[in-house]
């Protein structure tokens, strides 16, 4: 059986994309489908390379029984455009940066998270300069999208 290879991408890989990775991994595991997926996250920038997710992302996930504290930030690499079948950007800026970096053959793998999961054109807002409520709101948006994504993939 082929595995679905999914990469979630935001700017620094410490707020939104690690949350999306953790939520989707949790949902797939809960559904007994963890073996069907390879799930990862990355950033379009490398400012936080090697760091854990933002403490507020860790707290938002933990509040819902999901542990993302073991994740480490990384920057998207050229090999990711070959390795992953589906690359989901958290906002239009991330998508634009991915399109600039991606080889032509990989452009069809790039999608806005909300557009692909919930058929909308909304960005997942960056909660970095916000507070706990902003991270919780982002968690709720990502949960809705990831919940819709799981049945779309098999």
Summarize pLDDT for 60-70 with one digit per residue, the tens: 999 999 999 99
Q: Supply the pLDDT for residue 111.
A: 97
Tens of pLDDT along 23-40?
A: 999 999 999 999 999 999
From the CB of residue 150, how many other CB atoms can be counted at a distance below 10 Å?
18
> What DSSP string describes 14-47?
SSHHHHHHHHHHHHHHHTT-GGGEEEEEEESS-T
- Structural domains in the chain plus CATH codes: 4-152 (3.40.50.2300)
Given the residues 10, 54, 80, 146, the one annotated as active site: 10
Tens of pLDDT along 39-98?
A: 999 999 999 999 999 999 999 999 999 999 999 999 999 999 999 999 999 999 999 999
Looking at residue 51, the DSSP 8-state letter turns out to be: P
CB 13 within 8 A of CB 75: yes
CB 112 within 8 A of CB 92: yes
For the question of residue 74 being annotated catalytic, the response is no
For the question of residue 146 being annotated catalytic, the response is no
Given the residues 16, 25, 56, 109, the one annotated as active site: 16
Tens of pLDDT along 106-147?
A: 999 999 999 999 988 999 999 999 999 999 999 999 999 999
Q: Supply the pLDDT for residue 32.
A: 97
């Amino acid at each position: 059986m082929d595995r679905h290879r999914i990469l979630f991408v935001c700017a620094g890989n410490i707020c939104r994309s690690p949350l999306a990775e953790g939520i989707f991994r949790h949902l797939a595991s809960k559904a007994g489908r963890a073996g069907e997926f390879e799930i990862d996250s990355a950033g379009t920038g490398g400012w936080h390379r090697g760091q854990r997710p933002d403490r507020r992302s860790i707290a938002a996930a933990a509040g819902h029984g999901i542990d993302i504290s073991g994740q480490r930030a990384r920057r998207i690499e050229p090999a990711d455009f070959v390795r992953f079948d589906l690359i989901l950007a958290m906002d239009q800026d991330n998508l634009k940066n991915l399109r600039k970096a991606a080889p032509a053959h990989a452009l069809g793998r790039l999608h806005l998270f909300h557009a692909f999961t919930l058929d909308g054109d909304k960005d997942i807002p960056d909660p970095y300069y916000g507070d706990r409520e902003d991270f919780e709101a982002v968690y709720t948006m990502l949960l809705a999208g990831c919940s819709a994504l799981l049945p779309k993939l098999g």
